[in-house]
Every structure is written in C-alpha cells, then in structure tokens.
Structure 1
Amino acid sequence: MHPFRANSLLRKLFCTLLITNLLTAAASINTQAHGSMPQFEETSSSGELQLVVKVSPHAAYQTEAIFVDKKLQRELVDGGTGAPFVAPLPPDTTLSFDKKGVQQRYGVTPNGEVVDLSAGLTINISSTSQESLRSQVQVVRARHYGEILPWEEASEVLPKYSKFTIVDVESGLSFEGQRRAGSHHADVQPLTKSDSATLKTIYGGAWSWDRKAVLVKLNGRTLAGSMHGMPHGGDGIPGNDFNGHFCIHFLGSVTHGSRSVDPAHQVMVHRAAGLLTEYISKLSPWALIDVWISAANQGDLQLLQVTTGQEQALHVRSMRRLSKLPERDVSQLLQLDTAVNVSATPVRPSAVVNRRVLFHLERASLNERWYIRSAVIQ
C-alpha cells in the first residue's frame, strides 16, 4: 500500500494533499524500497495517475509520484498507437491509473513518450500532454537517481573521514560508511557490525568483487557511484566485522594499481545516474565487448540486454578478459567480427578454463550505436 494510506490520520493528510494537487498541479513524491506495486482505488473520474521510477523491472527500490491530469488520462484511454518502441531496454518509468477497476500501466520515456509495454508501441498523446508528462518524469527521475560527478568533485563532496549513507539501487538496502582513504577513488568502511551485515546481505551473503550501482547520500546531496563488496587492504574501524575496506568509484575514477578507469565501475556509475542506455549507446565496439564480459561475469541480465538489444541469459560462473582488445578504426563499418580471449568458469565445473569468444557486432547506420548480435564461446 502507498505510505499515505498507512492509517486514518495519514489518509486525511493524503486527501488534503490531493486537493492541493488539484489546485496547484503539483506532484507528491515518495522514495522507498518494496517488492510490489501499490494497490489503486478507482480513479478514472478523478484523473489521478502514478509515476514509478525503478532502475530495473525487478528492483525493490523505487520512487513514486501521484499527480492529477484528466486530459492526459482521457488521451491515454482514447488515443491510438503510434510508432514501434525500439529501445534496447523498456523505460525505467511506468505510468499507472485505474480504469473501472482495471489497472492500466504504460512505460514513459524521459521525453514524455508513452509506451504500450505489451505491444511495444508508442501511444499517441498531444504535444502539450507529452510536455507536461516529460516535466513530471524529469522531477521524479531526478529524485530517484544520483548526481553524476567527476571524481575530483566527488572527492571534495566526500572528504576523508566523512560519513555517509550508501543505498543499493536494486535492493534498496542502505548502510552507513566512512571514507578512510583513497586518492583515485574512495576507500570506504562500514561504520558498524550492522552496516557490514547489510553490505554482505546486498551481495547475497558472501563478499564479492561484483560491481553494484549505488547512491551516496551526504549533506543533502546524492551522488551516483559504483561499489564492490570485497574487504581488502587497510583496516581502520575496529569492531565493525569488516577486515579491510571496499571501494566506491565515481565518474572517471581509476584503480589504485593500474591507474586506469575500470569499465565495469563506470557502467554502474551511469546506471546509478539513470544514464545507462545513453552511456552504452556511445561506446565503441571494444568498450561494448568489455561491458558484455562484465555482464556475463556478474550474471547481469539487464546489461546483457542493453549490449545486445535482446533478452538473453548466459550461464557462466565467472568470465574475465585475458587479451587486449585489438582496437582498430571502425568509423566506416556497419559490421565487425573479432575474437577475445577470456578465462571462464562454466556453470558446473569448478576449474577456470581459457576460451575464445567470437563476437559479431552490427549497427544500422554510421550514425547509430553498435549492438553485439552474437557471442560464441569456443
């Protein structure tokens, strides 16, 4: 249930806010983590709609906004379908309302385009309704995602020994951490035993090097970051059940050892900022292959889908790139075939084996993005 309906007192508050919204056309926004969509009362006559932003369809962490727009609701009910929706991922924002007891649910792009998710078609609405919806979506997405800052600026926002809240954008679980060191990215430790336990829960009960998109909250600001969950290196907070520190990367931050940008961390930073699709669409074929390998290594189906444009699963327990990518000029190519050496652990055997992956990439025109159309593990 929506938090405004928690008890009778809050129901009265909700009604007051709804009346205010009718007069001011303002949206009420709430961010929370839960696994199911709220239940709706019949609102077809009131024009009440709800926006929900989630980083992925299965994410528990979401931001909600309720607003009233009778004109938009009528257009959604009466409007016909338009062009096919061909993006590699469904919109991260959904629009819902009740029509005679039946919930209607659509996807909404950042530009205010409405998508029939089951048919994969856009819905025709007026330009004024689209602009109004675009404004609503921008507000909710800004509340949901983090600010993307270069490492040099993020380092100033999160100075050494500062304490902050870290939120996993998938599970919605949060814990407190402190930056202890780190000149190229933030070396962070959980503050307490409870914080360490939450971090471990985020990773399914075992410490892991897997990268996860996170929000870092401090002094009214929310930054987009990427963390892993493996204790290593120096320790500084006794009694927190975390032997070492873990790392949080931001835009352009590099690893301490290689002094190079970690591709997997950068993908997660953009995911935490709500910019995953835009980021992937600008990558070279070689960078796209690195994202695919990271997705295979972590079993990240959304990343696999955004690199290939297709829903698919890859059953491996681990995968790492061994060879350097043979980069060459592809500016005038529409197709590309290349092989990359990897180390991989298949699903059943426990031993790591070396394999070659044959990639075939395509794009529709020289101005459009690349897709990995096939990846064959030899």
Structure 2
Amino acid sequence: MYASQTSRKWRQLLVAFLLTAGISGNIQVQANAPLSQEAAAAEKGTIQLVVKSSPRAQYQTEASFVDKSVQRALEEATEGAPFTEPLIPDTSLIYYAKNQSHQLGVTPSGELVDWSTKHTVQLSSQAQAALRNQVQSLRAKHYGELLTWEDASRVLPKFSSFTVLDVESGLSFEGQRRAGSHHADVQPLTKADSATLKSIYGGKWSWNRRAVLVQLGGRSLAASMHGMPHGGDGIPGNDFDGHFCIHFLGSVTHGSRSVDPAHQVMVHRAAGLLTDYVSKLSPWALIDVWISGAHQGDLQLLQVTTGQEQALHVRSMRRLSKSEERDVSQLLQLDTSVDVATTPERTNALTRRRVQFHLERASLQDRWYIKSAIIQ
C-alpha cells in the first residue's frame, strides 16, 4: 500500500537547539514495532495493535483482531493530508498484505499516519470508526484513570498497599501509602521492592519525575513519582530510609502547597493525555514542561513543547524566577525570559543562567510552540 570556554559551550548548546520549521524526519517507525516479525507471519486479515507511551518505552499493551472490511480498506487506502502533530501516535497498527508486513501509526480517533511520509492515510469512515473502537479500548487498558488527588486519596487510604508500575521501563514494585495529606507519601514494602525502585532510576536515587500507574483493587490510576528517600517514617528492613512521593491530578507539594508542573505532566503521560495536556498550556506553563524535559533529558517532552526532534545536553536545570503571566489572548508571538540554575554536561559547576524563549502559534485558536531557547 501506500567567548570564555563556558560561554562557548553555551553558545554551542544554543546553536544545537535553535529550531527550524517542520518536523524532523529522523524518527523511524520501527522503533514502535517490536512485533513486526510476528506480524509478517500472521495470516491475512489479522491486524495487530501495540500501545506504548513513547517509542522507547518497554511497557506495552497488545491486541490482535480480524476484520476483513478494515483489512480491505487498509489495502485500498490512499495518502491524505500532512500530519502536523508533534509526536508520533502512541499506537502502532501492523497488518499483512502483498506478502509483507506493513506498519502505520493510529491516533485515538482511528486516523492512520504513515510516519515515513508524515501524511495521514485515508480510510473509509466505517473502517476508521472500527479502528477507533479498537484503539480506544486498548488504550484504556494500557493507561491509567485520571483522578484528582481527593478521589485518588479515597481509593488509596493510608496504609493501603498497591503496585506501582513505571510506564517507560515496565518495571513494577509493591508500595504502601504511609502518610501524606496533599499527595501520597509511600514506602516500598520490601528490600526487593526498594531495589526495583532504584533500578528504575538507573541504580541511584533521584528526584526525577516518572509517569507511573498505581494499581489496586482492579483499578489503575495515572500518577507521577520521584525516587528519592527523604523525610521520616519507614518500614523496617526494606532498605529505604524515609519515603518517596506519588502525585495525582492537582496534588500539591507539602512545603509550598503548590502544584508541581513536572509531576502534573507525568500524570498526564500516565493517562495517555500528554499531547492533549501540553497543547492547552499557557506559554509559561509550556516553558515549565520544556525545563523538565531539559532537566531529565526527556526527548519526548522537548519534542512536544517545540514540535521538533531535539537533544539538549545538560546535567540539570531548574527554574529560579517566577514569571508573572500576562494576557496573550491576542498574541501570535511572545518573547520572555526565565532565570534557571543549570549544570552543563561534562561539568559539575552549577551556574545561574537566563534562558530567552521565543514562542509562536499559527493562529489565535492554535496551541503555542517554543521556537527557540537561547541560554545566556
């Protein structure tokens, strides 16, 4: 079918990050298709779907179905309009025709995408509706419920035990809510659970936020965790000195009583709503997501904020200044700056820098994108 050494380093970083229009063509669809060999051997008419939160994620949910009308529509499909979303669809469709396997992306609405050409694929309305039903059912199994902290707190009362599953690595461990009135303060249950949590973070404790599913009583809740033991409380003999935190929609930190932007973006990733969430953010909230992506080396967060494939090489970055948001309802472009504390790659020096952001949107109804970020 179809200046100083440090200044020079930062200038080099800037040159690497300045954006151009359009979406880079380096992404290979195969990265989202670990089962293509099996699909190639499948009998004609069998269609396979695979859902992953990102192309690099190890955790995935799969389903196969047979629908001759959809198979026929796939074989007769034609090229459609350009696909302009910043991220590859989280669902892959694999089918067999003309003695070979074929793979396409498929959106939650059932729209097909040929990522090699970055165009949609036109199907009949009946075939698209059938695909939409299959994809939405599979995504509901893969991702978590988006519950507010108030509702999640009732589902996970204090001293309840549950499974925590990392949506990128697929690793899981058992935890217990020990305390927490504004989010859940959690302990791994055993030494083995602590070791798994540590392995999720590459073998060392970390404050980095990760999208997770909290599973209890047949329910799976979208959440975000960090992996740093801190504070009091403990379960004897579990090799974890303190607790770690799990946030849900709208939960806040204990100290500032404010919503943590990095946790909230991970909650939405765990719910399968990353693009929808980011597309509705104000320019300043979008910058917070970009800073989180830079700090954690999260290429997907950088891409969803800029519309481009990027690599930004820093060891750490956090916001220092708090910008006052202003009315941008009638603006198509915006320039603003943010003070950050950051450590460049290959150094240990924490320095204060200012990042000058230029943001644009195509119309007053469209979402904002970060078009350049100059680290001064």
Residue in structure 2 matched with residue 14 of structure 1 by the alignment:
none
Q: Bigger shift: 92-101 or 203-212?
A: 92-101
Task: Show the 5 A alignment for 1:246-285.
Answer: 246-285=244-283
Question: Which whole-Å deviations, capped at 9, do the CAs of 1:259-301 have from their partners, x for residues lacking one?
Answer: 0000000000000000000000000000000110111000000
Q: CA 1:196–1:104 in 2, change beyond 3 Å: closer, same or farther? A: same
Structure 1 unaligned segments of length 5 or more: list them. 1-33
Residue in structure 2 matched with residue 95 of structure 1 by the alignment:
93
Structure 2 unaligned segments of length 5 or more: list them. 1-31
1:85 to partner: Cα distance: 0.5
Q: Does 1:297 align with 2:295?
A: yes
Amino acid at match of 2:296: Q
Amino acid at match of 2:313: H
Distance in structure 2 (CA, Å) of the matches to 1:126 and 1:351: 58
1:175 to partner: Cα distance: 0.2
2:33–2:92 Cα contact (<8 Å) kept? no
Distance in structure 1 (CA, Å) of the matches to 2:72 and 2:250: 46
TM-score by length of 1: 0.89
1:54–1:93 Cα contact (<8 Å) kept? yes
* Correspondence for 1:234 among 232, 235, 250: 232
1:35–1:59 Cα contact (<8 Å) kept? no
Residue in structure 2 matched with residue 178 of structure 1 by the alignment:
176
* Correspondence for 1:55 among 53, 56, 64: 53
Distance in structure 1 (CA, Å) of the matches to 2:40 and 2:300: 34
Distance in structure 1 (CA, Å) of the matches to 2:180 and 2:174: 18
Distance in structure 2 (CA, Å) of the matches to 1:137 and 1:79: 19
Distance in structure 2 (CA, Å) of the matches to 1:142 and 1:236: 34
Distance in structure 1 (CA, Å) of the matches to 2:309 and 2:33: 22
Please give the secondary structure, in 2, of the residue aligned with 1:61. coil
Question: Which whole-Å deviations, capped at 9, do the CAs of 1:308-351 have from their partners, x for residues lacking one?
Answer: 00000100000011111132111100000011111100002201
2:39–2:101 Cα contact (<8 Å) kept? no
1:97 to partner: Cα distance: 1.3
RMSD: 1.4
Distance in structure 2 (CA, Å) of the matches to 1:367 and 1:189: 44
Amino acid at match of 2:270: A
Residue in structure 1 matched with residue 4 of structure 2 by the alignment:
none
Q: CA 1:174–1:38 in 2, change beyond 3 Å: closer, same or farther? A: farther
Q: Bigger shift: 77-86 or 177-186?
A: 77-86
2:44–2:96 Cα contact (<8 Å) kept? no
Distance in structure 2 (CA, Å) of the matches to 1:178 and 1:333: 47
Please give the secondary structure, in 2, of the residue aligned with 1:147. coil
Residue in structure 2 matched with residue 357 of structure 1 by the alignment:
355
1:35 to partner: Cα distance: 9.4
Distance in structure 2 (CA, Å) of the matches to 1:41 and 1:321: 46
Residue in structure 1 matched with residue 26 of structure 2 by the alignment:
none
Residue in structure 2 matched with residue 16 of structure 1 by the alignment:
none
Question: Which whole-Å deviations, capped at 9, do the CAs of 1:60-98 have from their partners, x for residues lacking one?
Answer: 100001000122122222221010110010100010012
Q: CA 1:326–1:99 in 2, change beyond 3 Å: closer, same or farther? A: same
Question: Which whole-Å deviations, capped at 9, do the CAs of 1:228-277 have from their partners, x for residues lacking one?
Answer: 00000012201000000000000000000000000000000000000000
1:361–1:372 Cα contact (<8 Å) kept? yes
Amino acid at match of 1:98: Y
1:40–1:103 Cα contact (<8 Å) kept? no
1:166 to partner: Cα distance: 0.3
Distance in structure 1 (CA, Å) of the matches to 2:42 and 2:170: 31
Q: CA 1:206–1:45 in 2, change beyond 3 Å: closer, same or farther? A: closer
Q: CA 1:111–1:35 in 2, change beyond 3 Å: closer, same or farther? A: closer
1:36 to partner: Cα distance: 3.3
Q: CA 1:349–1:45 in 2, change beyond 3 Å: closer, same or farther? A: closer
Distance in structure 2 (CA, Å) of the matches to 1:149 and 1:41: 36
1:44–1:99 Cα contact (<8 Å) kept? no
Amino acid at match of 2:211: A
Please give the secondary structure, in 2, of the residue aligned with 1:375. strand
Distance in structure 2 (CA, Å) of the matches to 1:154 and 1:254: 13
1:209–1:228 Cα contact (<8 Å) kept? yes
1:106–1:115 Cα contact (<8 Å) kept? yes
1:40–1:98 Cα contact (<8 Å) kept? no
* Correspondence for 2:124 among 109, 126, 149: 126
Aligned residues: 345
Task: Show the 5 A alignment for 1:1-378.
Answer: 36-37=34-35, 39-40=37-38, 46-378=44-376
Distance in structure 1 (CA, Å) of the matches to 2:347 and 2:246: 32
Amino acid at match of 1:237: I
Q: Bigger shift: 98-107 or 178-187?
A: 98-107
Amino acid at match of 1:109: T
Distance in structure 2 (CA, Å) of the matches to 1:70 and 1:142: 24
